[in-house]
Structure 1
Amino acid sequence: MDPFARRKLGSSDVMLPIFGLGGAPLGELFTRVSEADSRATLEAAWADGVRYFDTAPWYGRGQSEHRMGRFLYQQPRNEFLISTKVGRVFTAPARPEEFETGFWSGGLHFDHRFDYSYDGIMRAYEDSLQRLGLNRVDILIIHDLDFWHHETEPLVSAYLAQLATGGYRALVELKEAGAIGAIGAGINELGMIPRFFELMDLDFFLVALRYTLGEQDTLDVELPLCVERDAGIIIGGVFSSGIYATGPVPGAKYNYADASPEEMERAGKIEAVCKRHGVPLAAAALQFPLHHPAVTSVIPGAVNPDQVAANIALMRHAIPNDLWAELKAEGLIRSDAPTP
């Protein structure tokens, strides 16, 4: 595959490269990343042809946006596309000396609150522009409005209502004013895409983890609904947090946690099929989602220049059709998954 071929993002006018750089690792997800390594990674991505960059305020509590912005504001603005996310507002902690980074191995020391209201979305958007050092972004994504983060039905319903009656209007106004080119929502779990569509029209969804070599349950409802509604899909977490990049090695991660024995066994079987066809497991993982007609881009992260170069090479690795056929015959991917 040509990693820099472009596809239309759902019902928007945005044309995205099918390969972009995800910004969560630069916010120090799982691993500390030095400023020098962050800069070198971004420089390598640009030199190698990457022109789509995805970030979020949540990634390192502002750190990923700062790092990407410091690099990108020096590049010609008409040569790249950037997406970031809204739904959280960040403030200084009441007790800085007691601050804990929690999910992030490093990052910045800011508290946050969820806010999907009109004012909350506008505040988050303006704050992101300041952190990025850019006066516009191309794509805005509603972030983490799901049970993973809010846990209970009453809270999820309340935030959806807040978005539908306020925050969505802010996003539409920004798009109509030409400040952004597309509106999407980030999805971590099944069942949320239909709920968003019940309340609003969106150009696309950023689907993290849920359409990968490791799982394809979104083929039942979510992806057919996106095709029906002309909504694009960007795939985040294409390696399922690591195991489909590293293979089933000790300590391999699957969906943000240590892989279970069953998940390790499945990944091992998929890797064995890939080896029989002379294909790296990570190449199959990167290219598999892009065969679905709704999928526009994949956005793997990187923490050093070598990872960027490796991912681009994996995107270009030729994969024989027989590999997909064998994975289906062995029951390792769904038979209805679109493949060549």
Structure 2
Amino acid sequence: MSLFESDKSAERFPVSLITGFLGSGKTTLLNRVLRDDAMKDSAVIINEYGEVGLDHLLVERVDGEVAVLASGCICCTIRSDLEETLRTLLVRRDRSEVPPFRRILVETTGLADPAPIVQLLLNNPLVSHFLRLDTVVTTVDAVNASHQLDRQYEAVKQVALADRLLITKRDLVNNIDALELRLNRLNPGARIESVMHGEIDPAQLFGAGLIDPEKKTVDVRRWLNEQAFAGSCEAAHEHGHHGHDASIDSFMLAFDQPLDWMAVSQWLARLRSTRGEDLLRVKGILNLRGEPTPVVVHGVHHVFHPPVALAQWPDADRRSRIVFITRGLGRQEVLALWQAGRAAA
């Protein structure tokens, strides 16, 4: 019997976060996505201080706070805090006070740090029992991104935490090769695409979580984006750095032999206690001694989701693999903490 809770992600509502710096096209993207037939059973939460509202899509107010969009989706604003808004929305769905929905999209303000929202979904039992983090989407303004990434750490962090990076305003820039290279250096695990006026198939945009809810299957390689980390990430850093980029590092550690959970737990605890602010995102699948199936870990800064055991190994690869996106914290320092812990054991 496993010591860990079994994974119930497929039973929880997926929540996708849409972030991006000021004027990068988040609302344009949302407007387009919500018109897609595949997204009719969505709820969207927007910050009331957002740059542009979705009012032109509203056809009916439910109670002054929740509105039904022309597409059939429902929309509400964050009146107090996100946790309360999410819980209220779920209660009202259960009571049939709002149209049923199967997913939630959250749009942040342009200056928002996405980490607290990710942490809420990972480790707040009042929320994570019902909801799961699906995808972090970050819009990147092709015209202004270089300037923003040089001067605004919020823009850098939005890129570093993303599962999907969407380059907007592509038609206004002749060449985006340098921008794509820079984004890949900041976050080699994110898929990068260019979009025009928010035109993108939602099926290509969302669904970056570990569990595919439609197929009820596990896709570890997609979740970790292992292909992006197949080679040494340091190679991507040889091209030089810009502004805040110099402090961001991304790498994957792989272990061929099964690991001891106590050693792993203590290692991650030391990382969180000593360098938690510099752990931008950690995702891993572990082969642990005594566990018949893989155990998944996922964290942002000091906050980690309770480790869960998958129902089975998704393929023949039994290696433990952990992806780190860090600030001022390199591969060698992370490995040194691991080795120090093993030596002390």
TM tier, shorter chain?
0.3 to 0.5
Please report the TM-score for the alignment, with normalisation by the length of structure 2.
0.33
Greater fraction of residues in strand? 2
Q: Which one has a larger percent helix, Structure 1 or Structure 2?
A: 1
- Name which one, 1 or 2, has greater alpha-carbon Rg: 2
